[in-house]
Homo-oligomer: A and B are copies of this chain.
Amino acid sequence: MSIDTLRYYERIGLVDPPARDSGGRRTYSDEDLARLGFLTKLRTTGMPIRMMRQYARARRSGVAGPALCKQILVEHRASVRARIAELRSSLDVLDHKIDNYSQIERDASAAEGRTA
């Protein structure tokens, strides 16, 4: 994760501003890093920033927080599963198409063999 992305996340309120050292520089605790790691995981699985902000807001909120967090994650998990299913079915199409091209190649080399 680039430093610019990190700043961007902080600006839009996706991550809490971390502590600063005496020189005014950010110091990330292990917990900060763990949270960032999880947020990155959410991003790479295709969760939009908007939803990540909802999740971050839920984390900060009180008693209702955990239930809301869980709900968002359950919802996201469903979409990840759907995405996996979509990709898997597309793999079949891709395999089929590739087989086709392999066949074309074989035909072409067979024709070449005859003309040679």
Contact = CB atoms under 8 A, between A and B. Distances in A.
A77 B102 CA distance: 15
Interface string A73-99: 110110011011011101101110110
A49 interface: no
A99 B77 CA distance: 12
Interface residues of A, number: 32
A95 B44 CA distance: 16
Nearest to A68: B101
B66 A94 contact: no
A36 interface: no
Interface of A: 38, 41, 44-45, 63, 66-67, 69-70, 73-74, 76-77, 80-81, 83-84, 86-88, 90-91, 93-95, 97-98, 101-102, 104-105, 108
